[in-house]
Amino acid sequence: MVQRRIPQPRDLAPLLQFKKPELDGRKRRLAAAYTIEDLRRIAKRRTPKAPFDYTDGAAEGELSLARARQAFQDIEFHPAILRDVSAVDTSTTILGGPSALPFGIAPTGFTRMMQTEGEIAGAGAAGAAGIPYSLSTMGTSSIEDVAAANPAGRNWFQLYMWKDRDRSMALVERAARSGFDTLLVTVDVPVGGARLRDSRNGMTIPPSLTLKTVLNAAPRAEWWFDFLTTEPLAFASLDRWSGTVAELLDTMFDPTVDFDDLRWIAQQWPGKVVVKGIQTIEDARRVAEIGVDGIVLSNHGGRQLDRAPIPFHLLPQVARELGDVYEIILDTGIMNGADIVAAIAMGADFTLIGRAYLYGLMAGGRQGVDRAIEILSDEIERTMKLLGTPSLADLSPEHVTQLQRLVPADGVGSRV
């Protein structure tokens, strides 16, 4: 029979440990975020609907984005046991330079619209973490300001070729003068995708004040205060645009760009050249003939052609055929450090994160971006230890099985 006794104070003392309250609301909410999805939920609460949906949404039915994320969930890891993983090395070399982690920050347009610290927060956080930062042609901070925010880090510049080609190449020249070491030429935007959330929200650049947006802003006063009391949104290309983002892309971007143009652009850049937006093995082969340094397997985060190929599914074949020709980077759908580990194991040399870091930005500015990088870094390191792989070089296709839900019908369709 159990013997009962009255608990003594000395027995209770170790059990009664009170945590010092955190008075800083931003630090408190970011500390409570353990995953990128947690940051997304915080971002949704704090950001007006139109800019949040611009970040979170994709084209048409948003099938491409959903499938890309599902592909990372549909994997099976195969851990190796009894390996010394007391120390894990997550560093790598990509495009001739170092990165402390196997991912960098992808180029994103209109970033200060999502949170006022914008590109400067992203570049500063990337520099502090020792990873590359990519500035978009449609960024809302200047090339020179980004270089100043990340003076000792690696900055990459992403190019959209406009109909006004002289203006496009003037940006390229500025990036080269500012020390950017890599040019990302995006090739999957001959026209803007049908981003229906933006159309339904009446999303304009910059955001318009309507009765609907005012009502939506009521519980998000901090966002509007920051937006209205900081430098107005400005772009390398224009000061104001009254239409949707897709309409802006259709007005500015050149749908005639072809492989000869790509070859010419590559000749103008003194550093490394990467082609972003490869979605078939045939295009990967054709780009290899031009002699670029790398490619990004990407369907633009699902924001262009809906039902586009899943980059993670395309990766193994491209890696087998062309992994010795150039460096392979992968984006679209990454929401967890385990996704990044799986991509490296299946043949990617590097990955890029877009929404994952933007959720952190919207959740807490520069500190939120730092937190997003920290979350992914911790997940990468933990996954590598559990797989028994002390370095990225130890990862191989043997560690991952892709479990595919979507396969071509017999005799119909092609993966190329």
Q: Which residues are catalytic?
A: 300
As separate numbers, helices (DSSP H) first and strands (DSSP E) second, the chain gives 18, 12
HSE (CB half, 13 Å, CA atoms) of 171?
A: 26
For residue 328, list its beta bridge partners. Answer: 295
Residue 334 backbone class (left: φ over 0; alpha: ψ -120 to 50; beta: rest)? beta
Q: Which residue has the tokens 């772009």?
A: 235
Please give the Cα distance from 363 to 354 (Å, whole number).
Answer: 14
The tokens describing 105, both together, are 């920050």
Give DSSP secondary structure letters for 113-143: HHSTTHHHHHHHHHHHHT--EEE-TT-SS-H
Residue in the block written with tokens 């802006």: 248
CA 362 to chain CA centroid, Å, is 14
Burial of 107 (0-12, 13-18, 19+ CB in 10 A): buried
Q: How far apart are CA 294 and CA 360, in angstroms?
A: 28
State which H helix or E strand residue 150 sits in: none
Reduced to 3 states, what is the DSSP secondary structure of residue 146? Answer: helix
- CB 193 within 8 Å of CB 109: no
The letter for the amino acid at 244 is: T
Of the CA atoms within 13 Å of residue 288, those in its CB half-sphere come to 16
Query: 338 exposed, middle or buried (CB, 10 Å; 0-12, 13-18, 19+)?
Result: buried
Whole-number Å distance between alpha carbons of 167 and 106: 22
